[in-house]
């Protein structure tokens, strides 16, 4: 599960956009009557509201073309998620907002067992930041993953990239 945390300076509140990997059994596939089958997709939910105060509801993403209205097909899942976050922020008319992201792997017993046998492969990292902090990055934590092998040596470039990313969101 990945979760994007959005801070809105206007009302000093945090909002989240959550993206889950989901499996379910369908009795129909895409509206066509057929035998029951498994389906796999992403489920998008958010605590943000429309300007009328209504919920955005759940969004089911099965392909990279399942983008917000007016957006082009995403080239990868990163663009897909960023497009939806941007859409939610714009539709909610948030002002002076910034976003951060975190993720966590499943807490099922399967993952726990896997962690004990090979923590390097199954660990996850998370990061969070607050735009209201004077030091900017208020809370920095990570656990070692196979992707983050040289965390300390590469942290500078990460902060630079992150700062740029956040300022991009702040302009909304």
Partner 1 sequence: MAFNITVYSNANASSKSISFDFVGDVLCASDEVFDANTSAIQYYYKITTSAKQDNNRAYQVKVVRTLSDLALNKTKQSAVDTANAYANVREMVTDYVYDYINGHTADQFTSGCTEQRPMKFSG
Please tell me the distance from the alpha carbon of residue 132 to that of residue 92, in angstroms, as a whole number.
20
129: three-class secondary structure by DSSP = coil
CB closer to partner 1 out of 6 and 81: 81
Quick check: 67 binds partner 1 (CB under 8 A)?
no
Of 50 and 146, the one with the shorter C-beta distance to partner 1 is 146
Q: Are 85 and 16 in contact (CB under 8 A)?
A: no
Evaluate whether 42 touches 17 at the Cβ level (below 8 Å).
no
Handedness of CA 166, 170, 171, 172 (dihedral sign): positive
Instruction: Select the residue interacting with partner 1 from 19, 48, 89, 94 (CB under 8 A).
Output: 19
Q: What angle do CA 22, 24, 27 make, to 5 degrees?
A: 150
Whichever of 50 and 119 has its CB closer to partner 1, that residue is 119
86 is a site residue for partner 1 (CB under 8 A): no
Residues lying near partner 1 in the complex (CB under 8 A) are found at 1-4, 19-23, 38-42, 61-64, 75-78, 80-82, 101-106, 108, 110-111, 113-114, 117-118, 121-122, 124-125, 127, 142, 145-151, 154-155, 157-158, 160-162, 164-165
């Amino acid at each position: 599960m990945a979760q994007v945390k959005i801070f809105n300076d206007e009302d000093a509140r945090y909002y989240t956009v959550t993206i889950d990997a989901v499996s379910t059994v369908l009795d129909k596939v895409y509206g066509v009557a057929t035998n029951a089958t498994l389906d796999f997709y992403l489920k998008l939910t958010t605590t943000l509201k429309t300007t009328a105060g209504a919920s955005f509801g759940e969004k089911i993403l099965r392909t990279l073309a399942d983008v917000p209205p007016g957006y082009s097909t995403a080239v990868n899942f990163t663009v897909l998620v960023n497009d939806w976050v941007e859409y939610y922020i714009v539709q909610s008319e948030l002002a002076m907002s910034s976003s951060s992201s975190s993720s966590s792997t499943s807490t099922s017993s399967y993952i726990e067992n896997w962690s004990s046998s090979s923590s390097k492969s199954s660990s996850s990292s998370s990061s969070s930041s607050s735009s209201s902090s004077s030091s900017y990055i208020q809370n920095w934590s990570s656990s070692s993953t196979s992707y983050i092998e040289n965390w300390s040596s590469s942290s500078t470039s990460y902060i630079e990239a992150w700062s740029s990313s956040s300022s991009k969101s702040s302009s909304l």
